Amino acid sequence: MTGFFGMVPGAVGMSSAAEAGISQEMAATTAAGGAALTGVIPMAADADSAQFAAALNAAGAAYLATAAEHVGQRAAYSGAQGLAAVTAPAVDAINGLKL
């Protein structure tokens, strides 16, 4: 039964699994690139090179923070989908028992 909203629990469950996989892959690739994004060293021993390296490291850190937030949001979405896939059939069953 698809219920009031026409949800197919199996499809939502598969979508949840796909989102979880994407989240894990994004977390892994972001972590793998972290050292390159925040490990910039100055090209020379002058103030400009040091400031430029610091700016690149700050930009890399900002990217990593944004990517981590995005991964967290996708993981939360996956969890919500998984919960919905399990809850909807239970609610439909309970509603079917009402007199």
Quote the Cα angle for 27-32-34, to 5°.
95
Q: What is the mean pLDDT of the chain?
A: 90
19 half-sphere exposure, CB direction, 13 A CA radius: 19
Per-residue pLDDT band for 98 (boundaries 50, 70, 90) equals low
Question: How far apart (Å, rounded) are the C-alpha atoms in residues 49 and 23?
Answer: 36
Region 20-34: what's the mean pLDDT?
A: 94
Distance CA 65, CA 16 (A): 24
**β strands within the chain, DSSP E:** none
Residue type, 52: F
pLDDT score for 88: 84
pTM: 0.74
Residue 83 pLDDT: 93
Query: Which has the closest alpha carbon to 87: 5, 21, 23?
Result: 5
Q: What is the pLDDT of residues 41-81, one digit of tens each?
A: 999 999 999 999 999 999 999 999 999 999 999 999 999 99
